[in-house]
Amino acid sequence: MSNKTPIALALIVAVAAAGCGDSEDPVYADTHPLSVPLIVTPSVQVGNGEAILYKVSNVSTGSASFRMMFYTDDDHIPAFHRDYERVRGGHTVTFVYEPPMAPIEIGGTTVEVPQAIRATVAPIPLVDHNVGRKVVANVQIVRVHQGADGAPPTLETREIVPLSHCNYEPRTPVPTGLWYWNCAPGIYPLKPLPPS
């Protein structure tokens, strides 16, 4: 072995260590290759005659594939989902959801209103778990107003729905089933569990 070999190996190790980062660094915790970034909406309750407008934009230069999953308030299993595959870079997809009517109790009175729904923009399994870093989303509560005297209908945005960026991430370097939702990764990064 020449004298240059140990120097070359030391440089390789140093570059690899710099690329891996510090597991205690919250920035690294948010970009860990084992964490899965998601975009999450709260439960949205619209009024009669209103709908929910979802817009998801691929802001990367390459294609992006993602799944939109929709949940009712009383079930952790998605009521339905929609897959968007290979959305081209710089393009936006739009989905309008008109919830079915469902009973809700308000002040001791049961009324029929559109069913509340929450949504998650997530990876399609086994496709690209980092798609949450390529897309941005916008959710609006909208209402269509029919035009009077032959005028065309108009779309009114009543409210912009706030979104959260969450991580679904492991607590151990090698995932063993200890996965957690973390919806404030920049403020409360999950610390790795100590070795057992």
- The CATH number given to whatever domain includes residue 65 is 2.60.290
Same domain for 176 and 154: no
- Record the pTM: 0.73
57-61, 111-115, 192-196: lowest mean pLDDT where?
192-196
Same domain for 122 and 176: no
Same domain for 89 and 52: yes
- Is position 145 within any domain? yes
Distances (CA, A) of 176 to 37, 162, 171, 172, 195: 19, 33, 9, 7, 13
Same domain for 60 and 111: yes
Same domain for 141 and 64: yes
Beta-carbon contacts of residue 190 (< 8 Å; ≥ 6 apart): 29, 169, 171, 180, 182
Dist CA 67 CA 81 (whole Å):
7
Range of the domain at 114: 42-162
- Is position 7 within any domain? no
- Is position 3 within any domain? no
Q: Helices marked H in the chain — which ranges?
A: 4-20, 26-30
- Is position 14 within any domain? no
Task: Name the domain count of the chain.
Answer: 2
The average pLDDT across 142-161 equals: 85
Residue 25: the pLDDT is 40
pLDDT band (50, 70, 90) for residue 193: low
Considering only residues 100 and 7, tell me which one the structure prediction assigns the higher pLDDT: 100
pLDDT band (50, 70, 90) for residue 190: low
Same domain for 127 and 66: yes
The average pLDDT across 12-18 equals: 31
